[in-house]
Chain A
Amino acid sequence: MIEFLSKQIDWIDVEYWFYIFNDLSLLYIILPFFVLELIRYAYQKRLSKDLVLDSIANVITFGAFFLIEIILGLLAVTKLYFWVYHNFSLPNLELNWITIITCILLADFAYYWEHRMMHRIGIGWATHTVHHSSPHFNMSVAYRFGPFDAILPILFSLPIVMLGYDPILVLLSEVFVQVFQTLLHTEIVGKLTKPVEFIFNTPSHHRVHHGSNRQYWDKNYAGILIIWDRMLGTFEPEKEKVIYGISEPLNSVNPITVFFHGITRFLRKLKQIEGIKNKFLAFVKPPDWMPQESSKSND
């Protein structure tokens, strides 16, 4: 067993398999599935102008997000990650099966925490609210990103690099988790078998995560494995019908409004808050936090 797990693998093979899943899945799963969803919407007489424009806005926000990701990728990944990898990491791990499997597990665990932070700190929610602001739930929503959605993951993947994992493998694993997550944005798939629902994140679990129903808030942060939520106290099963969106609906399909609404709302909140210390606290405190003086004056 150790021999198999520690068998060295060529980078070319690893990159090939990640390419098949990470890159090509858009063509052979995600797009066909989205077309299927559109047909289903039409059949159910739910295919509206709002839904189509919302989907277009989603794709446009992804373009803006991707541009920021590329700029950050060039600066942070190639420089910072490799610098940390060569100077501040445990002994570098060889490329073998156990390294790949554990790297994906760690990337998934990092995703859980990064995602939880996005929901639980002010600046995180200011960008991540974009992803949750759609009143619909389909594959295109998976591509609805906010302007800073690429920043927090860096803070959480650096520790993986420090554990001795190759930065490129860490990035490929993160994209793998993200692609798996994308596949969960659908209403077509109901609940799966109990063992699968127990271990893995499924469309049902992720519908809960997108719910604006009060009991569904800040639940099911997982990427691939739902066991992280089960073990860290944030799991909620799908019981009540999910109403998608956020507590203060956006009511816009304008891509610019969609992309920046979290930041503009956050800036508006900062204006209301008095004192420099409190303004700083607003960045790291939960999104609904307001200092007592400000909340009194608002009342």
Chain B
Amino acid sequence: MIFVPNKKLMKNSTLFFRTLFFIILIAGTAHLVTYASQQKVNTNESLETEVSFEDTVEQTKQESKTEENNRDLETDYIIGKWKVIYDDKDFKGGIVYEIKKEGNVFNASTLEYQDEKGNSQKAKKIKTLVIKKFDGYKGKGIYIITYKGKKYDVECDIDMVDENTFKLSYESYGYSDIETWERQ
């Protein structure tokens, strides 16, 4: 008995275009949503920057008047550019980070990579450290470590050595390290 298929096979071109459509639809959605969320973050960041520029002078005057803002002066000196030297298997050289105050926390993002010979290259802005608590001497936060392509949030401690140096220490899954951050 010869089997007669009850349905015709779909044309290869139909299969190809339908497949392409699904891939573009699914992967495109992921890229669009990620892009939209990044745009939103960038917009918020630039708005904050604009506001801070406009109000800088006035804020500075007010800051010195109030007790609360005096406390800011005690901690805000951490804002600025800091460099860390690494001597790992994966990376040898320096990374310059920029610490900014965003709300009540200080965030450090990558700014520049430097190789062992001192050649530098602008880095993609990646948030690496979030200092949640800081009293001017000691602090606590989250250090975002990339290991084998994956990001891990690790709790860390900040200890100011002097106003131009601080130690960042963390321990994760039995691995611990202390980094020295020096003001640029």
- Residues of A that sit less than 8 Å from B by CB: 2-3, 5-6, 10-12, 82, 85, 90-91, 93-96, 98-99, 102-103, 105-106, 109, 113, 159, 163-168, 214-215, 231-233
B10 and A232 contact, CB distance less than 8 A: yes
**Of the residues B23, B31, B152, contact of A109 by C-beta under 8 Å:** B23
Whether A163 contacts B27 by the Cβ 8 Å rule is: yes
Interface presence of B15 (CB below 8 A):
yes
Residue contact B27 to A106, C-beta cutoff 8 Å: yes
Q: In the complex, which residues of chain A have a beta carbon less than 8 angstroms from the beta carbon of B15?
A: 232-233
User: B101 near A: Cβ within 8 Å?
Assistant: no
Decide: A2 and B37 in contact? CB cutoff 8 A. yes
Cα(A98)–Cα(B26), bound, Å: 10
Among B19, B31, B150, contact of A113 (Cβ-Cβ < 8 Å)? B19
Residues of B with C-beta under 8 A to A105: 26
**Do B9 and A106 touch (CB < 8 A)?**
no
> Could you say which residues of chain A place their CB within 8 Å of the CB of B40?
2
* Cα distance, A164 to B30, chains bound together (Å): 10
Q: Give the Cβ gap from A95 to chain B, nearest Cβ, in Å.
A: 7
Q: Are B33 and A5 in contact (CB under 8 A)?
A: yes
**B149 neighbours in A (Cβ, 8 Å):** 82, 85, 166-168
CA distance A102 to B152 in the complex (A): 22
With A106-B23, A232-B15 known as contacts, the answer to whether A91 contacts B7 (CB < 8 A) is no
Known A11-B151, A85-B149, A232-B18; contact A106-B34, beta-carbon cutoff 8 A: no
B153 contact set on A, CB distance < 8 A: 10, 12
Known: A167-B149, A232-B10. A6 touches B27 (CB 8 A): no
Q: Show 16 residue pairs from A and B whose CB-CB distance is below 8 angstroms, ordered by the A residue.
A: A2-B33, A5-B33, A10-B152, A12-B152, A85-B149, A93-B30, A93-B34, A94-B34, A98-B29, A98-B30, A102-B29, A163-B23, A168-B149, A215-B6, A232-B10, A233-B15
Nearest opposing residue in chain A for B8, CB measure: A233
Residues of chain B within 8 A (CB-CB) of A5 are: 33
Q: How far does the alpha carbon of A109 sit from the alpha carbon of B23 in the complex, in Å? A: 9
Residues of chain B within 8 A of A102, CB atoms compared: 26-27, 29-30
Residue in A closest to B150 when the chains form the complex, CB atoms: A11
B27→A11 contact, CB < 8 A: no
